[in-house]
């Protein structure tokens, strides 16, 4: 086993607890712009997950309202965003005692990811950030993982990809990268476990202890 060099993080449900708030906000925007008859269940919203948010909006909303709907979503997303994540900036930086790099691979759009990292005060904690806007194919495709490995000149067994979704695990497996399931923020836990991650962690503290034990 090679020495662990990099932790690659998902964002929503992994670095912060906001998946349900995103779903709720999206449902509200759908009703406002498309009408009550077009309302979506939580399961229906989750089925859209994968591409970045602006792409999802272009699929769901007609051209005459999509820009207004997306801009309102971004505005309210920032207004209601939590200031506390699962890991503080100090805790994230402390991982550098055990690994050389911290990176992000999120399916979020570049816009919403920027808001999240800014509101949590953790933007400067990461060496590389790839969002769904930065690759042709987002999760469950492994494009961004391959780019991170290439950028940092690392082998697949020198990283761990930590995420709360089965899409994260599938992307990791496609890249040959070890995967860790963040149950602490997962919404679809059954799907997450069924995707067979290499490691499963109930709490952020468990994950921290695991990384310490690998050093």
Distance (Å, rounded) from C-alpha 78 to C-alpha 94?
Answer: 27
For β-strands 159-163 and 179-182, DSSP reports them as parallel
- Sign, CA dihedral 37-39-115-170, equals negative
The string of pLDDT tens digits covering residues 81-111 is 999 999 999 999 999 999 999 999 999 999 9
CB-based burial, 61-70: b 16+ in 10 Å, e otherwise: beeeebeebb
**Mind listing the pLDDT tens digit for each residue in 155-183?**
999 999 999 999 999 999 999 999 999 99
| pLDDT value for 42 | 93
Which pLDDT score, from 0 to 100, does residue 1 have?
A: 61
Verify that 13 and 93 share a domain, yes or no.
yes
In this prediction the pTM is 0.89
Residue 208 to residue 115: CA distance in whole angstroms: 25
Q: Return the CATH number at 145.
A: 3.40.50.1000
Residue 93 shares a structural domain with residue 164: yes
Sheet holding 128-130, edge to edge: 128-130, 101-105, 6-9, 159-163, 179-182, 199-201
How many Å apart are CA 163 and CA 192, to the nearest integer? 9
The answer to whether position 168 is within a domain reads yes
Same domain, 206 and 175: yes
Indicate if 95 and 31 belong to the same structural domain.
no
Looking at the structure of the chain, the number of domains it has is: 2
In the 3-class helix/strand/coil scheme, how is 147-194 assigned residue by residue?
HHHHHHCCCHHHEEEEECCHHHHHHHHHHCCCEEEEHHHCCCHHHHHH
Which among 79, 106, 128 is the end of a domain? Answer: 79
Residue ranges making up the domain that contains 13:
6-17+83-214
Q: DSSP 3-state assignment of 94?
A: helix
pLDDT of residue 19: 86
Pair (127, 197) in one structural domain:
yes
In a domain, 1, yes or no: no
Q: Please tell me the predicted confidence (pLDDT) of residue 149.
A: 98
pLDDT grade for 214, boundaries at 50, 70 and 90: confident
168 and 121 fall within a common domain: yes
Same domain, 126 and 30: no
Same structural domain, 73 and 96: no
């Amino acid at each position: 086993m090679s020495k662990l060099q990099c932790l690659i993080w998902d964002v929503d449900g992994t670095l912060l607890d906001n998946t349900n708030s995103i779903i709720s906000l999206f449902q509200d925007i759908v009703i406002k712009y498309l009408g009550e008859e077009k309302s979506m269940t939580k399961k229906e919203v989750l089925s859209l997950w994968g591409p970045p948010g602006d792409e999802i909006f272009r699929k769901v909303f007609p051209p005459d309202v999509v820009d207004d709907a997306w801009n309102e979503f971004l505005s309210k997303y920032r207004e209601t965003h939590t200031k506390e994540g699962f890991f503080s900036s100090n805790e994230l930086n402390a991982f550098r005692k055990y690994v050389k790099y911290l990176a992000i691979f999120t399916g979020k759009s570049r816009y919403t990811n920027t808001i999240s990292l800014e509101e949590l005060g953790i933007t400067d904690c990461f060496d590389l950030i790839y969002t769904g806007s930065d690759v042709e194919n987002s999760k469950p495709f492994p494009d961004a993982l391959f780019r991170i490995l290439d950028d940092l000149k690392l082998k697949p067994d020198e990283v761990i990809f930590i995420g709360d979704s089965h899409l994260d695990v599938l992307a990791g497996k496609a890249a040959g990268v070890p995967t860790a399931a963040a149950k602490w923020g997962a919404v679809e836990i059954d799907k997450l476990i069924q995707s067979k991650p290499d490691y499963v962690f109930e709490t952020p503290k468990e994950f921290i202890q695991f990384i310490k034990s690998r050093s």
